[in-house]
Structure 1
C-alpha cells in the first residue's frame, strides 16, 4: 500500500465539478454542499491555492450556482463529457500548475466527480475527496462512489480537515483569517 501524503497548500489545487442550479435542485443537502464548497474556496483564496472548475452542459443544466461562481477565478468551461478532463485542455492546464494534489468538490459523486477523479488518478495526480462538499441525488450512489474512489487511490477527507492540513500550524500567517471562516461556517 502506498503512503498517503499530507495535503500541502503549495502543492494543492481545488477542482469544482458541476455545482449548477438545475442539478442542485435535485440534491438533498444542497445547502450544506454549497456552504462547504464555498468554505474550501474561501480558504483556498486565503492560502493562494489555485481553483479550477467545469460545468456540465450549462445550456441544459444552467450555470454554476452564484454562491460558488462568485468565488471562481474565471468562468468554468462547458463540457458534455462526464469527466472534467473532457473539457478541452482542462487536464493539461491543471497539470501546468505543477500542483499534484487535487481537492475535489462538486457533484454528482457517482458520475462526473467519479470519472474526473479516475482520470486524475490515471494521470498520476493525488486526489482528495472533500466528502462533505460532494453530493449525489441518492445517498447510495454517493457512498458507493466514495468507496470505489478510495479503493482506486483517492483519499476521503472533509473541507475543515483540508483547511487545517493546508495551515499545518496555528502560527501560520493566515490562521486567524481561516479560523474566522471556520467560525462563520458553524
Structure 2
C-alpha cells in the first residue's frame, strides 16, 4: 500500500505546459489553473521541489501568470518533444532523488500522457491530478486519463493530494491550506 501514500520528502511536482497561448483553448481552464495553484502553494509550504516545463514557448508563449506567480522560482525547462521526460528533466529528477511525481498540466492526452508514460517506464510512482490537468476536448481528456490509469499511474485529485501530504489537521501548512480550500 506504500504506492498510494504520498510523502513530502519523496514527492516532486511536475508542472507541464500551462502556457499563455494554449490555456484559452483548454476546457475547464479556470478550475485547472486554480487547482494547480493550490498544489504549488502546498509545495512551497512543504518544501516540495517543482519542475516546470514549457512546450516551444516561442510559439505557445510562456507560463500563465496565475501559475508563474505562485512558483518559488520561475525556471522553466523548454522542450520541443511532447513528453516532458527530456534529458534536462531526467537529470533534475536524479539530482532531487524523489520517487513520487505529482503531475499537473496540459494537454492531458498529449504532453501529460507521454510524460506519464515515460515516468512510469522509468519506475517512478506517478500521481496524476485529474482536476489539475486538461485538454481542449472532453473526449481527449477522458482518453488521456484512461490511458494513464492503464499504464499504472495513480489517478487522484487536488484535495486528496493536499490532505495526504499534510497528514495531520494541525500546524501552519494545514492552517494556510484550509483557508485556501474554503
Q: With structure 1 as the length reference, what TM-score do the two structures score?
A: 0.93
1:88-113 deviation line (CA, Å, top 9, x unaligned) = 41112112211100110000000000
RMSD over equivalenced CA pairs, Å: 1.4
Distance between the aligned counterparts of 1:137 and 1:151, measured in 2?
A: 22
Partner of 1:96: 95
Please state how far the C-alpha of 1:178 moved relative to its aligned partner: 1.6
Q: Which runs of 5+ in 2 are unaligned?
A: none
Q: Is the 8 A contact 2:83 2:118 kept in 1?
A: yes
**TM-fit CA distance, 1:172:** 4.3
Partner of 1:111: 110
Work out the CA distance in 2 between the residues paired with 1:165 and 1:134: 19
How far is the alpha carbon of 1:67 from its aligned partner?
0.9
Q: TM-score, normalised by structure 2?
A: 0.95
Q: Kindly state the Cα deviation for residue 65 of structure 1 after the two structures are TM-superposed.
A: 0.3
Q: Contact 1:46/1:178 (CA < 8 Å) preserved in 2?
A: no
Contact 1:84 1:112 in 2 (8 A): yes
Q: Distance in 1 between matches of 2:88 and 2:170?
A: 38
CA distance in 1, matches of 2:150, 2:54: 26
Q: Which runs of 4+ in 1 moved over 6 A?
A: none
**Correspondences of 1:49-64 after superposition (within 5 Å):** 49-64=48-63
Shift of 1:31: 0.8
Runs of 5+ unmatched residues, structure 1:
none
Three-state SS of the structure 2 residue aligned to 1:21 is: coil
Number of equivalent positions: 181
1:128-143 alignment, distance < 5 Å = 128-143=127-142
Q: How does 1:174-185 map to 2 (within 5 A)?
A: 174-183=173-182
Counterpart CA distance in 1 for 2:103 and 2:155 is 10
